Chain A
């Protein structure tokens, strides 16, 4: 076909086949490619403890500790939370979850497995993010690094240095609990009392 073709050149039919497709996993395993042309990127390193960081940066012991603490704080705020130990361990592996009790309820969340730091030695403020990994055979995160908002890094946990997109360091919004549902959708109920068909299968697109 020439360059002037007016239709999509190829469509991966298997991606659109639905009949025998397995259900997609809750969090994208496909892996978000770290391509070179994306937004801004930060050379970042992953450490499993402040000591690990200090060994790599003997001249920055204070920063290593502070980055660890700020990652831990972010971890407490944004780690994925589960109602039961089972659900948490299914995703992260046996004995990889902690029980947490707060004023608004109790839940299970994975231990922080490491933290990612960038610009540690720059005069600019450095960034730090908690990271998780899974030991569960059922999890797409098994032996990989993943952030609290589900960003999965390429390669396995032995890799400790990445060119991470800046979005990795964006703070995830805090949610303690949902106070209400059903605040959208009422117009549909109101308008669908009108119509020629008893069972409405027609939507609100146009």
Chain B
């Protein structure tokens, strides 16, 4: 695993405009960064990332199965009691999932460690499935990268294939796609998924989450008053369950992507539960609920809220138990977990985090985020990678 400096394509911004990649620069800071790329060996990709990702995913599903069958665990995960049935039945009915992203710490040598599972609303999908793929094509065509170079990235192919399965085996003929207003990045991610669904022959209209309506007959509706029967929402379950229309979820009978059972996986309670079920697994970091703090001994620990986004509300507990706040934010009212501190590997002055993607349960590629700070935050940059 190396970080290689690279000459950016002279026309990449023009290409971005052409393909509708509108969030390559955010807050005036670069987000897409092709001034360097990461290089892996096939062995690193297959043995250290791909296989462990498939295994970690299965371990996560095992935890879902435990949680939905235990009132104590549902309580511990802070899942509101009125929605237990919705979540448990979505699991028992095997409601299909689309995708997820495991965040891994990996340095090219030691076993990758799972930091968290973005199983409900993962983003940076377009950059991964399409944009970095195009980057490699262009650089190979220009002779800047060897023709036999490859990339761990079958994301787009697998997404289209998964949508075909959803259409043929689960009768997803039309899926409404939805995200919140005022986010160029989320809208871009959802547009990409609409494109993948359309390629699979699914009718893929869009509406904003805020525009979803409720009909007199209890169904959710789009702006033309059509019933929403299947819906992809880039909006967290933990929010939906607690909002006004949360009470209507049961009767509205929507096939959701992601399905309600994903709310167990996007919850940081997953981390201590994984450690409980698979203690000392090489790809896990020790993790405990805050009330078991006495077991989190020796070294430094990271304290994270059960629900949080983009690395918010994280603090570091030092050897002497004194806390250092690493990031602020609006989260934490539902409680915290502790995870053993495992620093991100450093290349030059950059800390690197690997996102490992799965489509349903198949590993499908990686994304790389770099940051000058230790916690990957909003403003980290996205870098492409190759296998050589």
Q: Are A178 and B19 within 8 A (Cβ)?
A: no
Q: Are A6 and B201 within 8 A (Cβ)?
A: no
Q: Are B387 and A204 within 8 A (Cβ)?
A: no
The distance from the CB of B12 to the nearest CB of chain A, in whole angstroms, is 15
Among residues of A, the one whose C-beta sits closest to the C-beta of B378 is A202
Residues on B with C-beta less than 8 A from A62 are none
Q: Are A17 and B225 within 8 A (Cβ)?
A: no
Residues on A with C-beta less than 8 A from B169 are 39
Check B150 for interface membership: any CB of A closer than 8 A.
yes
Residues on B with C-beta less than 8 A from A186 are 243-244
Residues 159 to 193 of chain A near chain B (Cβ within 8 Å): 165-167, 170, 172-188, 190-191, 193
Residues on B with C-beta less than 8 A from A30 are 198, 201
Q: Are B215 and A178 within 8 A (Cβ)?
A: yes
A204 in contact with B234 given A175-B221, A187-B242 (CB within 8 Å): yes
A167 in contact with B27 given A7-B133, A177-B215, A187-B243 (CB within 8 Å): no
Among residues of A, the one whose C-beta sits closest to the C-beta of B222 is A178
Partner of A206, one of B42, B184, B309: B309
Q: How far is the CA of A15 from the CA of B195 in the complex (A)?
A: 7
Q: Are A188 and B19 within 8 A (Cβ)?
A: no
Stretch at the interface among A19-27, A94-102, A131-139: A19-27
Q: Are B216 and A35 within 8 A (Cβ)?
A: no
Q: Are A177 and B168 within 8 A (Cβ)?
A: no
Q: How far is the CA of A185 from the CA of B114 in the complex (A)?
A: 30
Among residues of A, the one whose C-beta sits closest to the C-beta of B244 is A183
Q: Are A16 and B19 within 8 A (Cβ)?
A: yes
Residues on A with C-beta less than 8 A from B150 are 5-7
Partner of B235, one of A9, A26, A175, A204: A204
Residues on A with C-beta less than 8 A from B101 are 206
The distance from the CB of B278 to the nearest CB of chain A, in whole angstroms, is 23
Q: Are A200 and B173 within 8 A (Cβ)?
A: no
Partner of A173, one of B168, B209, B219: B219
Q: Are B210 and A185 within 8 A (Cβ)?
A: yes
A183 in contact with B214 given A7-B133, A204-B309 (CB within 8 Å): yes
Residues on A with C-beta less than 8 A from B18 are 17-19
Residues on A with C-beta less than 8 A from B27 are 197, 201
Among residues of B, the one whose C-beta sits closest to the C-beta of A35 is B168
Check A155 for interface membership: any CB of B closer than 8 A.
no
Check B146 for interface membership: any CB of A closer than 8 A.
no
The distance from the CB of B262 to the nearest CB of chain A, in whole angstroms, is 12
Residues 203 to 217 of chain B near chain A (Cβ within 8 Å): 203-205, 208-217
Partner of B154, one of A8, A175, A176, A187: A8
Q: Are A32 and B130 within 8 A (Cβ)?
A: no
Among residues of A, the one whose C-beta sits closest to the C-beta of B178 is A184
Check B248 for interface membership: any CB of A closer than 8 A.
yes
Q: Are A178 and B214 within 8 A (Cβ)?
A: yes
Partner of A28, one of B136, B204, B236: B204
Check A12 for interface membership: any CB of B closer than 8 A.
yes
From A150, A175, A196, residue with most partner B Cβ within 10 Å: A175
The distance from the CB of A130 to the nearest CB of chain B, in whole angstroms, is 16
Check B171 for interface membership: any CB of A closer than 8 A.
yes
Q: How far is the CA of A18 from the CA of B78 in the complex (A)?
A: 42
Residues on B with C-beta less than 8 A from A81 are 225
Partner of B182, one of A172, A177, A201: A201
A17 in contact with B214 given A8-B129, A24-B198 (CB within 8 Å): no
Among residues of A, the one whose C-beta sits closest to the C-beta of B252 is A173
Q: Are A201 and B185 within 8 A (Cβ)?
A: yes
11 contacts across the A-B interface (CB closer than 8 A): A7-B154, A18-B191, A32-B203, A35-B168, A151-B173, A167-B173, A175-B215, A184-B239, A184-B240, A187-B236, A204-B235
Besides the known contacts A13-B134, A24-B198, A181-B212, 9 further A-B residue pairs in the complex with CB atoms under 8 A apart: A32-B201, A179-B216, A181-B211, A184-B244, A187-B236, A187-B243, A202-B378, A206-B120, A206-B266
List the 9 shortest-distance A-B pairs measured between CB atoms, nearest first.
A18-B20, A205-B123, A203-B186, A183-B245, A203-B183, A178-B213, A187-B239, A28-B203, A185-B210
